[in-house]
Amino acid sequence: SITRSAIVERTGLTRSAVATLVADLVDAGVAVEIGAHHDGQPGRPSSAAGLSDASPVALAFDIGVDRLRAALVDLRGTVVADLRVARPRSTTTVDDTLDELMSLAERLGVVGHGADGRPLVGVGLAVPGTVTADGRTVVAAPNLGWFDVEFADLVAPRFGDGVAIVVGNEADLGASAEHRFGAARGVDDLLFIGGEIGVGGGLIVGGSRVGGRSGFDGVVGHMPVNPGGGVGACGAVGCWETEVGERALLRRAGFDPDGGHEAVRALVQAADAGESVVLDALVEHGGWLAVGLATLINIFDPEVVVMGGFFHDVWPHLADVVDRELARTSFGGRDRTGVVVAGQLGDSARVVGAAELAFQPLLEDPVGFGAQLV
């Protein structure tokens, strides 16, 4: 919530303009008047407004190699309903994925243009692959086996007319979520690194996302770091993700490389217990992680690097190693201690970021778009 006086101060609009706009938002069902509050300024208490508890929600999907997640997210970036299912890594076909996503949506109470009694503003989907700038086509998601899939057009008929569908790269969406609601809130220059089976990056410079011409920006996992390394999912040799991805860490620590989230959880428990083999594996892993991070930091000079995905889970055991290695490789001898941090949103960054995509038309024209939802 915020007082009208505070809105005036932050926007530079007149009091009458703020009063009119707040009234329009209330009429559109987006905001609600919550009474007068004294904000410490001289004079009468200022009327305040906040988001309505019946304000629109977005349906967000997080599509992974071995799991699917569906969530309803509100304008505060809060996950208000959430479902997750594991799936075999052999069932990542587009058709199977679509059927499972629709099943999750039904279980969340999504019907037509509504979701659990609230207006549905749209559907955002996070995928571990490159996506065209218009948010329609998955160009390449090697770990899913998807190439040139017009995914938004395949999803749209499942929801009917009037429900906007948009697709985004999971790392870009993680960057957006952490920038608006998490570890990089208030930071205008940041790099987000997300890791699961693959590794992706999202870059925000001057407060805006940096995108490439063909949707191939941020594929940091395919940055070559080890000429003598293994072959990645993309077919190239020595990609960063072959050294720092989930499989690489599990293999180093003596766990099943395809053990997924359960194996990562067991690895963290073993590290917490001080098992030397696992701790040694984490040191080696942190060294390779620092190799790629040093290159990216020296190129982009971000204020903060946010680690998401499984990196978030193991970060307490990697932070010191990465800081130490970055100190050796930093350009100009600059102190990089604390530049690389764990995300605050954990594995919710992807669904929150996907919801932000779906919310964009509402954010750009809240009164006009909100009126359509009433």
Residue 334 has pLDDT above 80, yes or no: no
Can you give the pTM of this predicted structure?
0.87
Question: For 168-217, how does the pLDDT look when each residue is reduced to its tens digit (9 = 90+)?
Answer: 999 999 999 999 999 999 999 999 999 888 898 999 999 988 876 665 66
Distance (Å, whole) CA 180 – CA 297: 21
Q: What is the pLDDT of residue 338?
A: 78
Residue 5, pLDDT > 60, answer: yes
Q: DSSP for 326-345? A: HHHH-GGG---TTTEEE-SS
Inform me whether the pLDDT recorded for 330 exceeds 60: yes
Query: What percent of the chain stands above pLDDT 90?
Result: 56
Q: Give the pLDDT of residue 306.
A: 96
Q: Is the pLDDT of residue 44 over 80?
A: no
**Averaged pLDDT, 13-38:** 86
pLDDT at residue 305 is higher than 70? yes
> pLDDT band for position 373 (50/70/90)?
low
Across the range 141-170, mean pLDDT stands at 90
Name residues whose C-beta falls within 8 Å of residue 130's C-beta, 6 or more positions apart in sequence: 138, 139, 140, 141, 169, 214, 215, 216, 219
Task: Specify the DSSP class assigned to residue 45.
Answer: P
Question: pLDDT tens-digit profile of 207-244?
Answer: 988 876 665 666 788 888 888 888 877 777 888 999 99
Candidate from 38-42, 78-82, 179-183 with smallest mean pLDDT: 38-42
Residue range 301-327: average pLDDT?
A: 92
* For residue 80, pLDDT beyond 90: yes
Q: How many H-runs (helices) and E-runs (strands) does the chain carry?
A: 13, 18
Evaluate if residue 315 carries a pLDDT over 90: yes
How do residues 246-289 score in pLDDT, each as one tens digit?
999 999 999 999 898 899 999 999 999 999 999 999 999 999 99
Does the pLDDT value for residue 36 go beyond 80? no
End-to-end CA distance of the chain: 21
pLDDT (0 to 100) of residue 208? 87
127: left (phi over 0), alpha (psi -120 to 50) or beta: beta
Mean pLDDT value across residues 89-102: 87
Q: In this predicted structure, what is the pLDDT of residue 232?
A: 74
Strand blocks (E) in 87-154: 110-111, 114-115, 118-127, 130-131, 138-141, 146-149
pLDDT, average across residues 81-90:
87
| Res. 61: pLDDT tops 80 | yes
